[in-house]
Structure 1
Amino acid sequence: MASKKSPKSVSRPHSSGNSLIPWLGLATIVILLDQVSKITITKLFAYGETLAVTGFFNLMLVYNKGAAFSFLAAESGWQRYLFTAIGLIAAAYITFLLKRHSSQKLFCWALSLIMGGALGNVIDRLLYGHVIDFLDFHYQELYHFPAFNIADSAITIGAALFILDELRRVRK
């Protein structure tokens, strides 16, 4: 008579309950929100067109061939490949960190937002050769903060959460 294995004897892969899936899901949501917003703005606005929303905020379609604050934007085009490579390498390293530290919630929130934002901008560089920016904050029309997008916002929020996580870790 053949013996049946009891449910306790079935071997299962070791799992600590930590998963990479929620963190990749969060990064995917950031990418989707970023890309939908950019597609929408490019359908509704011509390049350089501005819509005043408040006394300190405009929607304005502009392109950035560089990095943050248009760093290296005036170069001949090689920067597109450099920033694309940096974004892809960063995403791969962040995936490694997310897998390794998936139970550290604030740390993983920070990394997921940064990765989603980086990949959102990488997609722009691959598809268009530049990043689409459209959020324009200003003071009395005299001082304009450089235009940015949802991907940039996610990177900034992620960086702030990363700093907060590090400060909390140092206190312990």
Structure 2
Amino acid sequence: MNLKKSLLLIAVILIIDQLSKIYIKTHFELGDSTEVFSWFKIHFIENSGAAWGAKLNDFLPISESAGKLILTVFRLFAVAGIGYWLYDTLRKKSPQTLILAVSLIFTGALGNIIDSVFYGLIFDHSNGQVATLFSDQPYGGVFYGKVVDMLYFPMIDSVWPEWVPYFGGKDFRFFEPVFNIADTAISTGVGILLVFNKKAFPKNEEEAEIEEVDTMVNQSPENE
């Protein structure tokens, strides 16, 4: 994968991600849900924190606004770091598997940071109303936006049997997290690195020769 293909992939996914989020913000109230299939719903939530909705002020003695600002700044540095990683893989003409994975991770991180940096500045709130794009009364400011999530796959929506200790009678849902296109890109990129690790990070000739020598030494009669 060359630079043009990588940029095209980033642009396409980023456009789809942002268009889907803008559509949800301007057509759904917070908490609204539409069933597409029994196992797939469009469910609008906003995430002002890190993964799984966690917030820094849940763990540190700081205000929620300070925690949000720190998290957004951290995300900016993370996106910059991933962007440099992508540039480096392209410059070194790394394996296409690695370039594809890093391109996906970078796109997902960039898609979510756009929400965090700008959405509080261009939308009003979605609580009990459909948000307005480029509102005169935005719900936040730069760096204080919330990430829009809408993809929900409750493939199993049932109740724990009564005989199960502690959980008996309680609701059981799988898969419960609500996410977006950007999250999907990040997860796919990470999955590619895990599943196709050897293709993404092939050993160079020197490492292969050292490993071959070690194998020969270990298999020699003197070591038996």
Q: With structure 1 as the length reference, what TM-score do the two structures score?
A: 0.78
1:85 aligns with 2:73: yes
Name stretches of at least 5 consecutive residues in structure 1 with no aligned partner.
1-17
Report the secondary structure of 2:45's partner residue: strand
The alpha carbon displacement at 1:59 in A equals 0.6
Report the secondary structure of 1:61's partner residue: strand
Q: 1:123 is matched with which residue?
A: 114
Moved more, 57-66 or 91-100: 91-100
- The Cα RMSD (Å) is 2.3
Q: 1:105 is matched with which residue?
A: 96
Q: 1:164 is matched with which residue?
A: 195
Structure 1 residues 83 and 162: CA distance shift in structure 2, 3 A: farther
Q: Contact 2:44–2:148 (CA<8 Å) still a contact in 1? A: yes
Q: % of aligned pairs identical?
A: 31
Q: Give distance in 2, aligned partners of 1:60 and 1:114.
A: 24
The alpha carbon displacement at 1:170 in A equals 5.9
Is the radius of gyration larger for structure 1 or structure 2?
2
Higher relative contact order (CA 8 A, sep 6+): 1
Q: Give distance in 1, aligned partners of 2:9 and 2:146.
A: 24
Report the secondary structure of 2:37's partner residue: coil
Q: 1:6 is matched with which residue?
A: none
Where in structure 2 are the equivalents of 1:14-163 lying within 5 Å?
Answer: 19-72=2-55, 75=58, 76-102=64-90, 103=93, 104-126=95-117, 127-128=119-120, 129-138=145-154, 139-140=156-157, 142-143=172-173, 145-163=176-194
Report the secondary structure of 1:135's partner residue: strand
Q: Give distance in 1, aligned partners of 2:28 and 2:115.
A: 17
Structure 1 residues 93 and 74: CA distance shift in structure 2, 3 A: closer
Name stretches of at least 5 consecutive residues in structure 2 with no aligned partner.
59-63, 121-144, 159-171, 209-224
Tell me which amino acid in the other structure corresponds to 1:29: V
Q: How many aligned positions are there?
A: 155
Tell me which amino acid in the other structure corresponds to 1:85: V
Q: With structure 2 as the length reference, what TM-score do the two structures score?
A: 0.61
